Amino acid sequence: MPQRQTQPLGIELARRRLITEQDITKALEYQKIYPHKKLGDILHILHLCDSRKLIEAIGEILDEKAILLEEEDIKLTVSDYISLDIAKHNKAIPFEIESGKIKVCFADTTNKRAMETVRLLLLNKGLVMEKYITFESNIDKILDALEGVASDNINTSLDITGLVDSIIKTAMEKRASDIHFEPMEDHLRVRYRIDGGLVTAVNIDQEKQAQIIGRLKAISNMHQEKQESQDGRIILYPDYNIRVSSQRNVYGEKFVLRLLKKNAGIKKIFDLGFPNDEKLLKDSFDKKNSITIIAAPTGQGKTTTLYSVIDMLNRSDINITTIEDPVEIRIAGLNQIEIDAKTSFSNSLRTVLRQDPDIILVGEIRDKETAEIAMQSGQTGHYVLSTIHTINSIEVITRLRKMGISNYDIASTLATSISQRLVRKVCPHCARERDFTEEEKDIMTHIAEKYNVTLDFKGKKTYDVIGCEKCNHTGYYERIAIYEVLIINDEIKQLITDNASSIQIREEALKGSYKPLIIDGLYKVLEGKTTLEELNNKLVIY
């Protein structure tokens, strides 16, 4: 709950005799364990006073309309107005509509960005939003009940072996990349990561938690008695490699299963979202005696892009060797090496250099030793492709510097630095086409003009995301990458050699072909592939 009152909420509620000092003490003890929880929500969760009177008092204190929102108060189909994904992200639930006005409950009415996002979506449908406040826990509970994307497919009455198998197979059917088994206070929550977002699959009675964890350990080849962090693999499913990680939390052991499809098809680089420009593609990847690095946070498609590039470069007269952890897709004609606990990228790379390679793919540059060998490889006649964890293509230079690589080696060897993010595509099965609003045009135009880019809205449409069974009621189906490409030209090489800052390098890059991620994102919004809301969720642009 928000706290905009002039004096602490607890004191104001105590003054109204809704709670006592002892209640406040209990709530503050709870808040030490769950610091993200607001006081009003804690009082509600712990049943320290009448919840209806509590929310009404909070509404009066904050000068907001308030309601103790329950499932029976929902008088409409939420996904007809906003997708469940947007509802979850903004902690908002539309619950009643009358005479062109739609009532929407928020967990935090001080979150102006959330309210504005929802207001604009509803305004595009011709509806005026009337905001209310309620408890965040009530919103979460209702959204979990509405979401339940896989609960119909999972029979919780099965024996433990069948239940775990059903959860994993349903995840595969739903295109999930990860499965989260999360011990909660009174149940075991199972969630799937689909197209980058987490959705609740099923909630399981707490009494089954120990058996499910035991089963996961058994099929992952983990120690049953050990409760510290462990890593394992599941090999029961012929089409998948499943990596397993465990981590103890306050309610038990959390497990995350990463689902890697063994023989997934390799998409063409343009199909992934790389700008449809043959010259840019050639300038980015058709190299010798150098290194190309792709940068992004975890889970943003770096490896997928590398596979696509390697598949494009693969010819019978070229020796390509990859060093990966793990080998996610096997490609005919490549020499693919999978590292394990006894090896490392740096050790494997040393060995590969004695195998007469033309092109080397190093799954990730994690340390100075690997970076140095990769740079040396690029300086001695090889073309090296790799990835690194950093926020954008220019910060790759800073990251290499912090690893201890000299400016000379970076300037002489780094040929291309590419950054990417994955944004969700509008669901083709339920998206509703509409014109861009003037406000959306203004936002996009203002950003584009900062980088000397002109956007043409003539004949262009965008989409309202609705949500259906195909997209798990999120309004989005699959993802596409947005890219920024930094070609290291002579001017930038000189700046690197002179130890110029990333700001100076960026200023020089913007004089040439370089455009930041947001520009490619705006193009993809203009093309109708994604939405401005999704781009904002990924990059925070307004």
One digit per residue, the tens of pLDDT, for the chain of length 542 reads 554 445 688 888 988 888 888 898 888 888 887 788 888 999 998 889 999 999 999 999 999 999 999 988 999 888 888 888 788 889 999 999 988 899 999 999 888 888 998 998 898 888 999 999 999 989 988 887 776 544 556 888 899 999 999 999 999 999 999 999 999 888 899 999 999 888 888 989 999 999 999 999 999 999 988 778 999 999 999 889 899 999 999 899 999 999 988 777 789 999 999 999 999 999 999 788 899 999 999 889 998 999 999 999 998 899 999 998 878 778 888 999 988 777 888 888 888 888 899 999 999 999 999 999 999 999 988 999 999 999 999 999 999 999 999 999 999 999 999 999 999 999 999 888 999 999 999 999 999 999 999 999 999 999 988 888 788 778 899 999 999 999 999 999 999 999 999 999 999 999 999 999 999 999 999 999 999 989 998 897 87
Phi, psi of 348 (to 5 degrees): -65, -40
Residue with tokens 């890593």: 231
Helix orientation angle between 368-379 and 395-403, rounded to the nearest 10 degrees: 110
First to last CA, the chain: 23
Homologous superfamily, domain 269-423+479-515: P-loop containing nucleotide triphosphate hydrolases (3.40.50.300)
Per-domain residue ranges of the chain: 1-63, 148-261, 269-423+479-515
- Backbone dihedral region for residue 169 (phi beyond 0: left; psi -120 to 50: alpha; all else: beta): alpha
Report the alpha-carbon distance of residue 23 to residue 1 in Å, rounded.
Answer: 17
Integer-rounded Cα radius of gyration of the chain: 26
Q: What is the rounded distance in angstroms from the CA atom of residue 374 to the CA atom of residue 362?
A: 8
In words, the CATH class of domain 148-261 is alpha beta
Give dist(CA 155, CA 4) in Å, integer.
Answer: 45
